[in-house]
Chains A and B, each alone.
Chain A
């Protein structure tokens, strides 16, 4: 029961705090691509890989009182913050979940901006293509972001490191 939810709770527990739904979406996607056993299915949306299942599970955790969602009004939109509640921590403690250690990955992802994570997740989405095709594709589908050559090189290096590390 709620095994997939429990995996997400383990993620929130390691992160302590996640700021922004977009960031959450991209972090889980990158971790999934690194081989962590998240089952949420992703499809490409306007802003990169997006999982409706993830959005729904997070809502369910929030409604069950296991995850706290706070929202802050920014200019013209809301920013959402997530932390596990005490009940959530308790639930996770009693749930015998066998999850590989995500901490080193989360630490690295936390050091990066949402914009960078969006670039990395988009590049990973097209990882079936040849390297030069990936860059062309990213420039095509994310033309408005105007990613610089430096950012793309940094993302490539980042992907090499995290995938190799795994």
Chain B
């Protein structure tokens, strides 16, 4: 039997708190789960710094990747024998679902921002490079690694296959919403996924939703909206994210200035030199990063030591709502005041905007801007969701963005009571 068709003698089952069970029968999928590159995802948290806000949010990209695989497996089971579905694409879909987040690094959002990296690029490099994952994919067929990478990067010619893993209502989003809601412990974020899976229909180049399932999709959109503001954009999580970015920025600056580290950042050198190779990339996980942060608490450099202490011991920056347009002058004044007070604004004053985070909520958008969710009407016509659903229209029509100013309140409070600088800083911050 060809490797691609090989089945395990007995089905393997992972117990999962979100989907109850994750079923694996394909030898290829089982072998991929066992590779070091996939096992590494156990050491990368799904929600980055959110665990500092929601203490339950310690789940990993490993859990999520298995979850996405399981959802796609169930969708495909429902698609069997339906028009437009080609059963030959089954293994490709399952593999792409499993490996879609393979290139995520530790606290990847901050890392990518500071070092100008893109995890999608590393996913591709792991799949196509000299790795255990690649060896397994090659055994399926010589072009299989490239096809998997193309599906994940949305450039595979069969758009139906792509849309299962990445579209406005895909397995990736469905898993992370349910999983993140479960692990953060929030009461929103839940929706009837089983119902959505039952009303999904394959079309020529996209997955659409049978009209009768519109209310289940409304619930999904609502949960996406609530999770966006209540979990993903939580201001405390963003405070931790700001500090994390500042640590990386500081370490890089110290390294470039020739600073003698007590604990040299060996694992970061290729990131500083902007020549990150695959071997070094996969070695860096969150356990390694947190080890460095812990040791840098004792570094001589006061800024690095302080920032690491803040992160490790959850001594975060405070924040206020900030309007960068109306408060442009105050921003300039605050920078001057911070400098005069001996607090470096480069590391201790930051405006964080909603666009700085990698999450979105549903917007139908303009024609041909981005593929929306389509409902399959009883007469066979396709209609964009917000044109049919008042609930979705009311949410997607509203534009909400926000900006917050982050600063170390303890430093400001520590300034002399008689200091005019302190008085003026507090006047600005308290409006």
Contact = CB atoms under 8 A, between A and B. Distances in A.
Contact of B354 (A56, A94, A141): A56
Interface residues of A, number: 43
Given A45-B154, A50-B370, 5 more contacts: A46-B163, A47-B368, A63-B401, A79-B367, A126-B155
A19 to B, nearest CB: 10
Interface in B45-93: none
Interface stretch (B20-28, B186-194, B290-298, B320-328): B320-328
B324 A45 contact: no
Contacts of A137: 155
Given A2-B351, A44-B153, A21 B366 contact: yes
A125 B369 CA distance: 16
B310 interface: no
B252 interface: no
Contact of B371 (A25, A46, A52, A118): A46
Contact of A140 (B157, B205, B331, B399): B157
Contacts of A63: 399-401
A70 B153 CA distance: 33
Contacts of B4: none
Contacts of A38: none
B355 interface: yes
Interface of A: 1-2, 5, 20-22, 25, 41, 43-47, 50, 52-53, 55-57, 59-60, 62-66, 74, 76-80, 87, 91, 94, 118, 125-126, 137, 140-141, 143-144
Question: Chain B: interface secondary structure?
Answer: loop
A126 to B, nearest CB: 8
A46 B163 CA distance: 9
B29 to A, nearest CB: 25
A91 B368 contact: no
Interface centre among A5, A79, A126, by most chain B C-beta atoms within 10 angstroms, is: A5
B118 interface: yes
A130 to B, nearest CB: 14
A50 B366 CA distance: 13
A46 B159 contact: yes
A91 B325 contact: yes
A64 B325 contact: yes
A43 B369 contact: no
A58 to B, nearest CB: 9
B371 A45 contact: yes
B154 A64 contact: no
A64 B370 contact: no
B306 interface: no
B210 interface: no
Contacts of A80: 366
A144 B328 CA distance: 47
A20 B368 CA distance: 10
Nearest to A6: B324
B403 interface: yes
B36 interface: no
Given A64-B325, A91-B325, A59 B399 contact: yes
Interface in B330-354: 331, 351, 353-354
26 contacts: A1-B324, A2-B351, A2-B353, A5-B324, A22-B366, A44-B153, A46-B159, A46-B167, A46-B206, A47-B368, A47-B370, A55-B360, A55-B365, A56-B355, A56-B360, A56-B401, A59-B355, A60-B355, A63-B399, A63-B400, A76-B367, A78-B366, A80-B366, A91-B325, A125-B155, A141-B157
Given A47-B368, A59-B401, A65 B325 contact: yes
A118 B370 CA distance: 13
Nearest to A56: B355
B120 interface: yes
A55 B358 CA distance: 12
B399 A53 contact: no
A35 to B, nearest CB: 14
B387 to A, nearest CB: 9
Contacts of A55: 360, 363, 365
- Ranked nearest first, the 8 interchain pairs of A and B with the lowest CB-CB distance are A56-B355, A77-B367, A46-B371, A60-B401, A140-B157, A64-B325, A21-B366, A1-B351
A62 to B, nearest CB: 7
A43 B354 CA distance: 19
Nearest to B163: A46
